[in-house]
Structure 1
Amino acid sequence: MTKKPIALITGAAQGIGFACAKALSDDGYDVILSDINAGGVAAAAKELGGAAIVCDMGDRAQIEAMFAQIAAEHGPLSALVNNAGVAMPGDFLSYDFDTFQKVIDINLHGVFIATQLAARDMVEHGIAGAIVNMSSVNAQVAIPAIPAYCASKGGVMQLTKVAALALAKNNIRVNAVGPGSIDTEMMAGVNANPEAFKMAMSRTPLGRAGDASEIGDVVAFLCSKKASYITGETIYVDGGRLGLNYTC
C-alpha cells in the first residue's frame, strides 16, 4: 500500500487554516494540524482524521519541537502550509513595540523557521515538496491600523521569492497566497459593522467576502502537480481588489 504524502498546516484550528487542511485532506494528504488553541486544533484534526500538535508559531523552541515530533511520529513532509498569523491592530503613533515584535515573530519569523526546517527535511529525503505561505493583499496595499501585520506580510512575500530561488535546485516549490476580505474570525469585526463591511465591499469588485474554502482550494492547487511549474509567486485571492483603481 502506497503511503500518503504528509502535509503540515499551521494555524489550522479554524478559518483559512482549517479550510486548507480540509482541501489537502480531500486531495489525498495525511494532514497534521497545528495551532496554539489546543482544544480547537484537537477537534479540527479529529473532524478530518488527521493529527493535532499544539504549537506557538512565535516561539522558535516550540516550532523546532513540533518538527522533531513530526519526524519521529509521522515521517517527512511533502507539503507545508504556513498559515498561522495575527493582526493586532492599533494606532500607529502609540503602537507598542512589543506588540509589533509579537506579530513579526508569529507572521514572519515563524514562517522562516518552519520553511527552513521543512525544506531541510525534504532535501534530506529527496522529496520534491511544496511550501505555501499565507500572505495578504496587505503585502501590496496597507491599512494604517495594522502596521506590524502589513510589514510582516510584505516580508512573507519577499521570503517566498527568496526560498523559491534557493530551493529550486532541490525541486521544492515555494509560493504564497494573498487573501483579500475573507469571511473568517479575523473579519468578524468588519462583518458586524454595516458601514465597515460596505466600505470593504466597495473595494472588492466581486462585491462579496470570500469563503475560506476558496483560499483552501488555491493552496491545494499550489501543492499539487497541476502547479508543477509555479514557484516564487504570490497568488492574490481578493475578488479583484488589487486591480481596482477607482470607479464612478
Structure 2
Amino acid sequence: MKVALFATCIGDTMFPDAVQATAKILTRLGCEVVFPTQQSCCGQMHVNTGYQKEILPQLDNYADAFSDSSIDYVVAPSGSCAGAVRHQHPMIAERYGTKSQATSAVACANKTLDLSEFIIDVAGVTDVGAYFPHSVTYHSTCHSLRVLKVGDRPWKLLSAVEAIDLRELPGAAECCGFGGTFSVKNAETSAAMVADKTANIRATNAEFVTAGDASCLLNIGGALRRQNAGVHAVHLAEILASTKENPFDLHKRQEVLLRGEK
C-alpha cells in the first residue's frame, strides 16, 4: 500500500518529531511511505479568517501533490488539517472553483485520513507495537472530534500501548482555546480556556498529555511550561512510534523544541 505523508505547516515547523514518528509507524505497518515535496499549507487558517476564495491556489497545490493515482491514501498527523481537506476543500472548490477543481478536491478529500483513522480503519489494528512506560492523559481536539469524528480511535490506540498508564482527562472534549486566529483575536478568552484545560490535566497527575493535533499541543504545552507544571505535551504519533528498542527520548525532543524557539 502506497501512503503519502502530509506533514502540515505546524508539524513541519514546530513538531518535526511527530512527522517523523508518523512515517515510522506507517513503515512499521508495512506501507510504502512517500513524501511529495511540493506539499504546502492546506489553507485552513485562511478559510477560518474569511479568505475562502483566496485558497484556491492552495487547493490546486494539494491536488498536484497528492492526487497521483498510485497514492492509495494521504495520512496526516493532524485531525485539524485532515478535517480541513475533507470538509473545507470540497466546499470551497464547489463554491468558487471550476468543475475540475471540485472533482480534484473531492478525490483528494476521499483518501485523506488522520493517523488514528488510518491505523484502525485501513490497517485494521489497534496495537502498533508501541512501548511507553509513563502516565499519560489524552485531550480530544475539536477538529478531530467534531469534524473528522474520530471518536475513541486514539484512546483505543493508546490503550494498546505496552506499559502505559492511561488516565482519563476531565472535560477532555472541551476546547483548549487555541482555535487558530481565535487565540489572537480573543486572547483573554483563549487564556481562560487553556487555564481550565491545564488545570484538568494537572489534576490527573500524568507525566504527559497527548493529542492528535500539534496546534492544540503547542497551546497546551506552552501554558504548562509557563506554569512550571512538569507535564509534557507530546503528539500521539510520538507515543505510538516509541518502542523498547527505540524508546521516546524526552531530553532529545526538548532540545529540538528549544532550538526552534530561539
Bucket of the pairwise TM-score, normalised by the shorter protein? 0.3 to 0.5
The two structures have a TM-score, normalised by structure 2, of 0.36
The two structures have a TM-score, normalised by structure 1, of 0.38
